[in-house]
Amino acid sequence: MLLVGNVVINRVVANCDVFRETRTISDVIYQTNAFAGVNTPLFVGSATAKEKELAERNIKGYRAEPANRALWYRNPGTGVACSPQWYGHFSGRFKQHCFYNPEYSLGCNL
């Protein structure tokens, strides 16, 4: 969850076109087609103490590879390899999630 949190915070601070209008965590979460889990029972439920602690760590600056500069992530499925490109270039995998960094030419300044 910390690495997905990295992606959220990265989208808040990124200066590239696709994230130009996302300046708050709420902007990022509710951006059209940003997160598939929005409006699911799990999403609308109350956050646990652990989830709140992890979110706070991200807000306070926690960063880790492979999500340190990532703006996108996906779960391709069990036993499925990560694509080398998917919106950005592949930066690494953690458990079932593949993380992707923006191309430097986009000027995201991460």
Per-residue model confidence as pLDDT tens digits over 58-97: 999 999 999 999 999 999 999 999 999 999 999 999 999 9
pLDDT at 37: 83
pTM of the model: 0.91
What b/e string do you get for 12-44 counting C-beta neighbours within 10 Å, with b at 16 or more?
eebebeebeebeebeebeeeeebeeeeeeeeee
Whether the per-residue pLDDT at 39 is higher than 90: the answer is no
